[in-house]
Homo-oligomer: A and B are copies of this chain.
Amino acid sequence: MKTKKFLLQEKDIPTAWYNIAADMENKPRPILNPATKEPLREEDLYPLFAKELAHQELNATDAWIEIPEGVRDMYKIWRPTPLVRAYGLEKALDTPAHIYFKNESISPVGSHKLNSALAQAYFCKKEGVTNITTETGAGQWGAAMSYAAKAFGLELAVYMVKISYHQKPYRRSIMQTFGAQVIASPSMSTKAGRQILTDHPNYQGSLGTAISEAVELAIQTPNCKYTLGSVLNHVMLHQSVIGLEAEKQMEMAGEYPDIVIGCFGGGSNFSGISFPFLRHKLTEGKDIRIIAAEPASCPKLTRGQFQYDFGDEAGYTPLIPMFTLGHTFSPAHIHAGGLRYHGAGAIVSQLHKDKLMEAVDIPQLDTFDAATLFARVEGIIPAPESAHAIAATIREAQQAREEGKQKVILFNLSGHGLIDMAAYDQYFAGDLTNFDLTDEEVEKNIAGLEKII
């Protein structure tokens, strides 16, 4: 009988995170203080982040950073995750390609987000923080942070993008079950929220706005830090456990990927699956393609501009060197709420600029076509975000068939879609549209950016 899953034991959970910046020839450009335009210092981040996280963000120089035992112990709740050979999908596509996916959906909160949530809660707790804030799009990050906060005894307030708050009420319930306070964003509870509600009364929110609110609340709350589920260097670091496990598992399978694919919002799961493989390209010149799959309605990598920009809508954050559509960009209401973010993180942006990776953008309907096919042949209903990676995988597998090449494709199944069933209902009812961004819309948004790079 054919092996379908490649399973590791708890002892195989990585003992160190991989910091790709150490191996990059062109280092990511520095994050800047928006007032002085000088590179940010660790101390500048202390009001927002736990010190250890500020250090990881700005000054981690080693390629390997030890995972504290307190974090690794929590990883054991669900890690290691399986690597799965997608025989069903291969057969359905009649492709010579070998398709593998890393199944991060078996996490108790349904996605890869717990990998960084637990690390961030751990470091906050370690330095005596009592309260944390965060934002969430579709709610995958918020659900993960809610459990992590509860596990480490921290109070948590989550700003959830309003459109997702209504689209995905069960994710709100999950956060509340773990004891978190959930606020629909934009809200009246912050200056940033009030301002945007005044300017745009029916605004259904964006990750950029929710970040502004969460940052503002963190700064105004005693003994409180802010946490973020994507974009930042320390998040990419924590997520490397995905790819590090997958590396061992591909060895068990006796294959090596020609292509590694992740869906792309701010970069957390994409970096997690791909950086440990990209390492082989950077350090050994290995021939491997890395593909980020983003929504056609929010195409910062394929059609944005490489630019210093704020991480949030209100401009509270430092300036990050990013491929961006502009921090005031308001993405369409696609169901992949976790991908509705205007920019890419500093590391990914540098890698993309240096052509060490590629990006594709996928229309919403293609993602649901892919998701439904995947569900029916592999049994797992994917999150709308992860469906972008599946759609990109299908394109590559079809290409392999046309070329008659037996390529090995690895993608990250970042989460399941059991809380996103309303999206599937709409898809089957024919009520979904693509929301592809036009050239004019892209131009209009980018035109407002101050050209710093």
Asked whether, in the complex, the Cβ of B73 is within 8 Å of the Cβ of A4, the reply is yes
By a CB distance below 8 angstroms, the chain B residues around A422 are 170, 173
Residues of chain A in range 1-39 having any CB-CB distance to chain B below 8 Å: 1-5, 7, 9-10
Measured CB to CB, the nearest residue on chain B to A7 is B9
| Cβ contacts A146-185/B at 8 Å (1 or 0 each) | 0100110000000000000000011001101111000000
A10 touches which one: B7, B178, B379, B425 (CB < 8 A)?
B7
Q: Is A344 an interface residue (CB 8 A)?
A: no
Chain A, residues 370-400, CB within 8 Å of chain B (1/0): the string is: 0010011011110000000000000000000
CB pair B372 A177 closer than 8 Å: yes
Add 13 more A-B contacts to A4-B76, A77-B379, A173-B422 (CB < 8 A).
A1-B69, A3-B10, A3-B76, A4-B73, A108-B381, A147-B379, A170-B419, A174-B381, A176-B424, A176-B428, A177-B381, A177-B421, A419-B421
- A109 in the interface (beta carbon within 8 A): yes
Residues of B within 8 Å of A170, CB to CB, are: 170, 418-419, 421-422
- Please determine whether B7 and A7 come into contact, CB atoms closer than 8 angstroms: yes
A288 at interface, CB cutoff 8 A: no
Name the B residues within 8 Å of A303 (CB-CB).
none
Contact of A379 among B3, B109, B379 (CB under 8 A): B109
A110 contacts the other chain (CB 8 A): yes
A225 part of interface (Cβ distance < 8 Å): no
Could you tell me the distance between the alpha carbons of A4 and B76 in the complex, rounded to whole angstroms? 6
Across the interface, A72 reaches (CB within 8 A) one of B1, B69, B76, B169, namely B1
Q: What residue in chain B is nearest A425 (Cβ atoms)? A: B173
B10 and A179 form a contact (CB under 8 A) = no
Chain A residues packing against B (C-beta within 8 Å): 1-5, 7, 9-10, 69, 72-73, 76-78, 84, 106, 108-110, 147, 150-151, 169-170, 173-174, 176-179, 372, 375-376, 378-381, 416, 418-419, 421-422, 424-425, 428
**Separation in Å of the A25 CB from the closest CB of chain B?**
37
Q: Give which listed residue, B3, B10, B375, contacts A4 with CB less than 8 A.
A: B10
Q: Are B379 and A1 in contact (CB under 8 A)?
A: no
Chain B residues with CB under 8 A of A150: 376
Contacts of A174 in B (CB 8 A): 381, 418, 421
- Assuming the contacts A9-B7, A170-B421, asked whether A151 and B108 have C-beta atoms less than 8 A apart, the reply is no
Cα distance, A22 to B399, chains bound together (Å)? 54
Give the distance to chain B from A13, nearest Cβ to Cβ, in Å.
Answer: 10
Contacts of A179 in B (CB 8 A): 376
Q: List 24 A-B contacts (CB under 8 A).
A: A1-B69, A1-B72, A1-B73, A4-B10, A4-B76, A5-B10, A7-B10, A77-B84, A108-B381, A147-B379, A170-B421, A173-B424, A174-B381, A174-B418, A174-B421, A176-B424, A176-B428, A177-B376, A177-B381, A177-B421, A178-B375, A179-B376, A418-B418, A418-B419
Within 8 Å CB of A379, what residues of B?
A: 77-78, 108-109, 147, 151
Task: Find the B residue at minimum CB distance from A144.
Answer: B379
Highest count of chain B CB atoms <10 Å: which of A9, A76, A109: A76
A376 pairs with B178, CB closer than 8 A: yes
B110, A418: Cβ atoms under 8 Å?
yes
Give Cα A439–Cα B404 distance, bound, in whole angstroms: 72
Do A76 and B10 have beta carbons less than 8 Å apart?
no
Contacts of A76 in B (CB 8 A): 1, 3-5
State in angstroms the CA–CA spacing of A162 and B4 once bound together.
Answer: 37
A130 CA to B375 CA, complexed, in Å: 21
Nearest B-chain residue to A427, judged by Cβ: B177
Q: How far is the CB of A34 from chain B (nearest CB, A)?
A: 38
Interchain CA distance A247-B406 in the complex, whole Å: 41
Q: What chain B residues lie within 8 Å of A77 (beta carbons)? A: 4, 84, 378-379
Per the bound structure, the CA–CA distance linking A332 and B418 in Å amounts to 27
